[in-house]
């Protein structure tokens, strides 16, 4: 099936007389015929359902759909994108380990990596996404276990060179984890370029309607966990009946371990209702992504020509330093998110934003409705000045998430905002 068809049909195939639409299974528990049946499921959770903290039929249908969209062997939904980022790393990292991350990532993820994981004894080594292969290689340590990046950085809108980082990661025997939230699998499928694990904040474009939060981890099934660096996959897990994940589950070892160990202990699994809403968003994802990209292209060109704008970050513009990378990884478009810098710094940016009426000033992005955010005051507020620079954030920067309104109405709203700057 083509990806547009998968958005509608993957993950759930109704049998004779069953519901056409994925049903909401609103239950926390499942019934077994015998004690032995229960024991068998705890020995091997792939045999049947256990408990809503692990799995739910509605959520599982969405997990299977997203795995199919990304081309992965399996997926696990989480209660938020942050939970997906956290579990994707904790599945392979422990106290005393380190990992490498691009510096141009979402501010909340920077906090998670630089502070919270540090408290757990895990070091994040930040590097420039634009660094040379030699510079990236120099950041590796003997205890480095993973590399992390965002396909399209939030909000810097830089394009991550997936193949370059995959090559370096694999040279060092570690997996590459990619946050593919902004492109979604409609615009980019990182596994095709060598990534090993993909995560999403499904709160964004996948949901599209801003009605529920969520995240997902997708396993490519391609990484070799038996290379000697990851004994947690090749030695008995005493917390789960001595299971050896690579032996019991083969290519699905990573995603099964994430569910059996981490989801069991952290319990950050989404509700069936949330998964139902997410599925509704996924069904229209190809159509929406096409329109987001078309609207954003028009808006980015308008902003680039405006005398009040110092610079525009949108990889779909030929003037962008990431244009060539965008043509390679994002040939169908660069999503609907644009970041631009207003002349005059923070005060002018705030004045512009407060003068908009159609665009909502909100802590969200990738919605069906146009919205704006001042990153330095919101999502990246906790960062130091040095971290702001490393993340590509300036005081006058505005993150504009172009919605699905008529593009002329979006442009009129922006014109009103610019008119207010001269008053």
Residues in CB range of 146: below 8 A, 6 or more apart: 89, 92, 93, 99, 100, 169, 174, 175, 176, 177
Strands annotated E in 282-406: 309-313, 337-342, 360-361, 371-373, 397-401
Choose the weakest-confidence range: 74-78, 172-176, 260-264, 381-385: 381-385
Q: Is pLDDT at 265 greater than 90 in this prediction?
A: yes
Q: Are 144 and 123 in contact (CB under 8 A)?
A: no
Q: Is pLDDT at 199 greater than 70 in this prediction?
A: yes
DSSP run (H or E) holding 124:
strand 123-127
* % of the chain exceeding 90 in pLDDT: 84
- pLDDT for position 413: 98
Q: Is pLDDT at 280 greater than 90 in this prediction?
A: yes
pLDDT higher for 59 or 345?
Answer: 59
- pLDDT for position 383: 67
Q: Is pLDDT at 343 greater than 70 in this prediction?
A: yes
- pLDDT for position 380: 62
- pLDDT for position 172: 98
DSSP for residue 269: P
- pLDDT for position 396: 86
306/131 Cα distance (integer angstroms): 31
pLDDT, tens only, 211-223: 999 999 999 999 9
pLDDT higher for 345 or 22?
Answer: 22
* % of the chain exceeding 70 in pLDDT: 97
Q: Is pLDDT at 269 greater than 80 in this prediction?
A: yes
pTM of the model: 0.95
Q: Are 247 and 64 in contact (CB under 8 A)?
A: no
Where helices occur in 19-132 by DSSP H, the ranges are 35-43, 57-70, 81-90, 107-111, 117-119
Q: Which of 236, 253, 274 is nearest to 197 (CA)?
A: 253
365/114 Cα distance (integer angstroms): 23
Where helices occur in 44-175 by DSSP H, the ranges are 57-70, 81-90, 107-111, 117-119, 133-138, 162-171
Burial of residue 36 (CB within 10 Å: 0-12, 13-18, 19+) is exposed
- pLDDT for position 411: 98
- pLDDT for position 386: 73
pLDDT, tens only, 90-134: 999 999 999 999 998 988 899 999 999 999 999 999 999 999 999
Band (pLDDT 50/70/90 cuts) for residue 381 is low
What's the chain's average pLDDT? 94
pLDDT, tens only, 22-39: 999 999 999 999 999 988
Phi, psi of 49 (to 5 degrees): -85, 150
Strands annotated E in 130-271: 144-150, 176-179, 197-201, 215-219
What percentage of the chain's residues is helix, strand, coil (to nearest 5)? 40, 15, 45
Band (pLDDT 50/70/90 cuts) for residue 378 is low
Q: Is pLDDT at 261 greater than 90 in this prediction?
A: yes
- pLDDT for position 271: 96
Q: Is pLDDT at 85 greater than 80 in this prediction?
A: yes
């Amino acid at each position: 099936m083509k990806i547009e068809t998968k958005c509608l049909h993957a993950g759930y195939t109704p049998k004779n007389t069953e519901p056409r639409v994925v049903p909401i299974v609103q239950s926390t528990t499942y019934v077994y015929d015998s004690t032995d049946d229960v024991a068998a499921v705890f020995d091997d959770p792939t045999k049947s359902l256990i408990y809503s903290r692990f799995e739910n039929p509605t959520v599982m249908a969405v997990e299977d759909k997203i795995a199919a969209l990304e081309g992965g062997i399996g997926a696990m939904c989480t209660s938020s994108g942050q939970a997906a980022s956290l579990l994707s790393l904790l599945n392979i990292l422990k106290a005393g380990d380190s990992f490498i991350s691009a510096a141009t990532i979402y501010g909340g993820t920077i906090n998670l990596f630089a502070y919270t994981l540090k408290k757990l004894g895990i070091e994040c080594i930040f590097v420039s996404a634009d660094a040379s292969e030699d510079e990236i290689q120099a950041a590796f340590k003997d205890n480095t276990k993973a590399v992390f990046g965002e396909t399209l950085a939030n909000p810097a809108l830089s394009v991550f060179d997936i193949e370059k980082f995959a090559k370096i990661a694999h040279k060092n025997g570690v997996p590459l984890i990619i946050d593919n939230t902004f492109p979604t699998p409609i615009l980019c499928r990182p596994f095709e370029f060598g990534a090993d694990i993909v995560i999403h904040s499904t709160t964004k474009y996948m949901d599209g309607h801003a009605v529920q939060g969520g995240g997902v981890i997708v396993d490519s099934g391609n990484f070799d966990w038996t290379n000697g660096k990851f004994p947690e996959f090749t030695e008995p897990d005493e917390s789960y009946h001595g299971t050896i994940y690579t032996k019991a589950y083969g290519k699905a070892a990573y995603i099964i371990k994430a569910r059996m160990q981490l989801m069991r202990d952290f319990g950050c699994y989404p509700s069936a209702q949330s998964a139902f809403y997410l599925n509704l968003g996924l069904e229209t994802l190809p159509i929406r992504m096409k329109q987001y990209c078309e609207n954003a292209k028009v808006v980015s060109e308008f902003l680039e020509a405006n005398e009040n704008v110092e610079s525009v970050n949108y990889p779909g513009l030929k003037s962008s330093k990431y244009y060539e990378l965008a043509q390679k990884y994002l040939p169908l478009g660069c999503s609907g998110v644009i970041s631009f810098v207003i002349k005059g710094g923070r005060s002018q940016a705030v004045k512009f934003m407060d003068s908009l009426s159609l665009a909502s000033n909100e802590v969200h992005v990738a919605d069906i409705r146009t919205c704006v955010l001042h990153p330095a005051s919101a999502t990246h507020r906790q960062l130091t000045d040095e971290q702001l620079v490393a993340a590509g954030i300036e005081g006058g920067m505005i993150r504009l998430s172009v919605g699905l309104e008529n593009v002329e109405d979006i442009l009129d709203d922006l014109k009103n905002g610019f008119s207010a700057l001269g008053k």
